[in-house]
């Protein structure tokens, strides 16, 4: 507690009072999903409207449910964000972040698309990534109907959603499918070796998401124990040998977050690859601090930083 930002201490106590199940096996994962509280209510008008749709999946994969927020042609084409929720690859719901995405759409006068990707271990890699890529490709292909400027499409995600956003940016680059203007990676889950073959100091990763959860999450996604010598191609962003050609990037993480080291290393590699990159390490902050204590000064500064990067990426003139 002495290392925590004082404004975050009460929030940390709430999280510590609800530890991850032990053991975190498949039965426990299913129980966590069933025990999740009802999602927050969708914001009423004048907040941007939410339209639920089923879109085609990637080849050989099932259809994907998405929530399209604030769509519609205005006088000019507008930017878009594909948002990917978190949950360690094993839990979490699109519905949990829809109100926040409505606020994002309103603040930036943009269109936000939430993707309800399949969870692991029921769906292993590349299933969740393919769901996200199908949603991204759908936004790009239907840009005219949605009112989206194809030159201003960004991806954003938190935790496992940030890891999937990073995977998606790499896949879009390698497949030459959708040109992204930005990736906003909020304490992203990037490296399966954290907690397995790479341990962290005992004061890091103790609040929120820990080493045990990380090993289970990655093992569930990969279909093999986390930290193995080889992993499926494209599954672990931190293991990708080439980061060149990726879009402008923001990475933000707390200094007490389990992911702080892997996120710092990834940011350094992006810089060395010539990618415009901003890294923010928030002192005394734990995993998910900005959601738990959004009004803390450190949380406000954190949100202001990633929003600044997104605004810069969206500042280009819209396509005709």
For 278-299, give one letter per residue: b (16+ CB within 10 A) or e: bbbebebbbbbbbbbbeebebb
Q: DSSP state, 239?
A: G
Determine whether 201 is exposed, middle or buried from the number of CB atoms within 10 Å of its CB (0-12, 13-18, 19+). Answer: exposed
Q: Which residues pair with 249 in a beta bridge?
A: 183, 277
- Which of 162, 132, 136 has its CA nearest to residue 150? 136
Kindly list the distances between the CA atom of residue 16 and the CA atoms of 106, 194, 286, in Å, as whole numbers in the listed order: 34, 21, 11
- Assess whether 145 carries a catalytic annotation: no
Catalytic residue among 116, 257, 263, 290: 257
The Cβ of residue 67 has, within 10 Å, a number of other Cβ atoms equal to 21
Q: Which helix (H) or strand (E) holds 54?
A: strand 50-55
- Assess whether 196 carries a catalytic annotation: no
Catalytic residue among 120, 159, 219, 220: 159
Residues whose CB is less than 8 angstroms from the CB of residue 281 and which lie 6 or more positions away in sequence, other chains included: 252, 253, 254, 255, 260, 264
- Assess whether 287 carries a catalytic annotation: yes
The Cβ of residue 113 has, within 10 Å, a number of other Cβ atoms equal to 27
CB 146 within 8 Å of CB 68 = yes
CB 68 within 8 Å of CB 148 = no
Phi, psi torsion values for 57, nearest 5 degrees: -80, 175
Catalytic residue among 83, 85, 133, 287: 287
Return the active site residues. 159, 257, 287
């Amino acid at each position: 507690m002495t290392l925590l930002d004082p404004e975050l201490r009460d929030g940390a106590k709430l999280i510590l009072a609800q530890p991850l199940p032990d053991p975190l096996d498949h039965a426990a994962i299913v129980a966590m999903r069933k025990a999740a509280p009802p999602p927050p209510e969708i914001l009423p008008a004048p907040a941007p409207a939410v339209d639920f749709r089923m879109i085609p999946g990637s080849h050989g994969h099932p259809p994907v449910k998405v929530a399209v927020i604030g769509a519609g042609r205005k006088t000019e084409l507008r930017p878009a964000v594909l948002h990917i929720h978190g949950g360690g690859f094993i839990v979490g719901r699109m519905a949990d972040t829809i109100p926040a995405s409505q606020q994002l759409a309103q603040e930036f006068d943009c269109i936000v698309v939430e993707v309800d990707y399949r969870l692991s271990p029921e769906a292993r890699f590349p299933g969740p990534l393919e769901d996200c890529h199908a949603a991204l490709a759908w936004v790009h292909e239907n840009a005219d109907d949605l009112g989206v400027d194809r030159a201003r499409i960004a991806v954003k995600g938190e935790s496992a959603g940030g890891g999937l956003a990073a995977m998606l940016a790499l896949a879009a680059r390698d497949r030459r499918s959708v040109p992204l203007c930005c990736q906003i990676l909020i304490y992203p889950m990037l490296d399966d070796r954290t907690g397995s073959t790479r341990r962290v100091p005992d004061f890091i990763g103790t609040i929120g998401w820990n080493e045990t959860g990380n090993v289970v999450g990655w093992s569930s996604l990969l279909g093999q124990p986390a930290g193995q010598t080889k992993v499926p191609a494209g599954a672990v962003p931190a293991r990708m040998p080439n980061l060149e050609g990726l879009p402008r990037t923001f990475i933000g993480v707390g200094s007490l977050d389990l992911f702080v080291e892997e996120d710092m290393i990834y940011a350094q590699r992006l810089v060395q690859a010539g990618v415009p990159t901003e890294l923010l390490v928030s002192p005394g902050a734990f995993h998910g601090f900005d959601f738990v204590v959004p009004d803390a000064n450190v949380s406000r500064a954190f949100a202001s930083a990633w929003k600044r990067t997104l605004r810069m990426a969206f500042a280009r003139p819209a396509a005709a």
